[in-house]
Amino acid sequence: MQTTDPSLKSFVSVSSESHFPIQNLPYGVFRTSTNATPRIGVAIGDFVCDLSILEDEGLFTHPDITDKKIFHQPNLNGLMSLGRPVWSDVRKQLTELLNESCATLRDNSSLKDRVLVPRSDAELLLPVKVNNYTDFYSSREHATNVGTMFRGPENALMPNWLHLPVAYHGRANTVILSGEDVRRPCGQRKAPEAKAPTFGPTKRLDYELEMGFFVGPGNEREIPIPIAKAADHIFGMVIVNDWSARDIQAWEYQPLGPFLAKSFATSISPWVVPLEALEPFRMKGPEQTDPEPLDYLKSCDDRAYDINLEVSIQTDENQEPMTICRSNLKYMYWNICQQLAHHTVNGCKVEAGDMLASGTISGPDKSSRGSLLESTWRGEEPIEFPDGSIRTFLQNGDRVTMSGFCQGEGFRVGFGEVTAKILPARSKKSTS
């Protein structure tokens, strides 16, 4: 069965604008008021399909899953570690069970009622135990914009940028789930004209529109993952908001790069969309001919993805969110397979649960810039809201929401959203 076939229909009612048709089936972890045990499910329409019950009923037949209680686990790490043949087999069986022509669930009212949990009744949890987190810097438009601001257009890209996917290691234990609010961080800041730094809350809090992917089976230390096999090591993708304190970063980042300006919070969406669900939306990425990548980074196939992305801000003054940015993952210069191949080429070990994020995703025009730093051009071009209020950077009480989807023939494969509200910095008394 072709699990991304546009003609597939589920017996579960799904609107054409839903992010979660049968062609998607993204994985998440949830619990309910009647069963507080975290377990694995997939989203289908307005429901969560409880895979732990299907597992108990013996409806998954792959030998690597039988009797292992994979879907009873509190995260996706166990499933991710099993590899693509298992993922594909499970996906095919799920597609069959949820298909409108299959009677197994459709005509068994008792089982169907137990398996299909309204999403409104489900508390979503962090889907993955993130072991390591690497953040890339892979959008040429974003890197050019930022470089132009700080070094001028003639030196916008650093000499290495077109030769390798630039990245740094982030903090895995501050990756948080959509819906968890973000407190304004404190740190050292130094104004350009000041003689010395001061300590206090960031005055330039920003979002960064990114996407991330999770590693499935890893590699042995000292054994690189070749680019031709990189996709087999990638389980699925989420939307990422990698929050940034621009003034703290400007003071601290030389010579070793981001630290406190980035490590306070990285928000992700709760549903992990399998790479297989994104197959119909693969496309050729930007040309890489001047210069050509070194051999280990040369893509064997098209690995850009046509994923529509959007950022909105809701302020205390304006209860209706206003769209700030519309971008697309297809703009990324370095693709996910190149990122993973580069990450491991020195023998670095990756494992199930490692998260790699794209870096800010910006497009060719102002409306597609993936951060406020770019949209307001370092605060020189404020964004105006309908009531006349303006933003150069985020204020307390602002809610930032990111969403994304691929548009198919009469259906969408979506990621849901990642959202958070900005809370005031902790008082000096509470931090002493």
**Beta bridge mates, 10:** 99
DSSP SS3 for 339: helix
Look at residue 16 in the predicted model and tell me its pLDDT. Answer: 96
Whether residue 405 has pLDDT greater than 70: yes
Name the band, by pLDDT with cuts 50, 70 and 90, for residue 300.
Answer: confident
Active site positions, annotated = 142
Decide if 241 contacts 196 (C-beta within 8 A). Answer: no
Separation CA 39–CA 349 (nearest Å): 28
DSSP string, 239-254: EEE--EEHHHHHHH-T
Structure tokens at 222: 């000292």
Confidence at residue 211, expressed as pLDDT on a 0 to 100 scale: 98
Q: Which two tokens stand for residue 123?
A: 């508390």
Average pLDDT over residues 58-84: 94
What value does the mean pLDDT of the chain take? 96
Q: How does residue 2 score in pLDDT terms, banded at 50, 70 and 90? A: very high
pLDDT tens by residue, 11-56: 999 999 999 999 999 999 999 999 999 999 999 999 999 999 999 9
Instruction: Sketch out the chain's domains with CATH numbers.
Output: 27-125 (2.30.30.230), 133-431 (3.90.850.10)
pLDDT beyond 80 at 421: yes
- Supply 208's token pair: 């960064």
Sign of CA dihedral 24, 28, 32, 37: positive
In the numeric block, which tokens belong to residue 243?
Answer: 């929050």
Q: Are 134 and 171 in contact (CB under 8 A)?
A: no
At 54-64, the pLDDT tens digits run 999 999 999 98
Counting residues of the chain whose pLDDT is more than 70, the rounded percentage is 99
pTM of the model: 0.97
Q: Which long-range contacts (CB under 8 A, 24 or more apart) does 295-302 make?
A: 296/224, 296/226, 296/227, 296/341, 296/342, 296/345, 297/164, 297/165, 297/227, 297/338, 297/341, 297/342, 298/227, 299/227, 299/335, 299/337, 299/338, 300/227, 300/228
* Residue 430, pLDDT above cutoff 70: no
Mean pLDDT, rounded, for 338-347: 98
Tell me what the mean pLDDT of segment 184-213 comes to.
97
* Average pLDDT of span 253-268: 95
SS3 category, 22? coil
Ramachandran angles phi, psi of 210, nearest 5°:
-140, 170
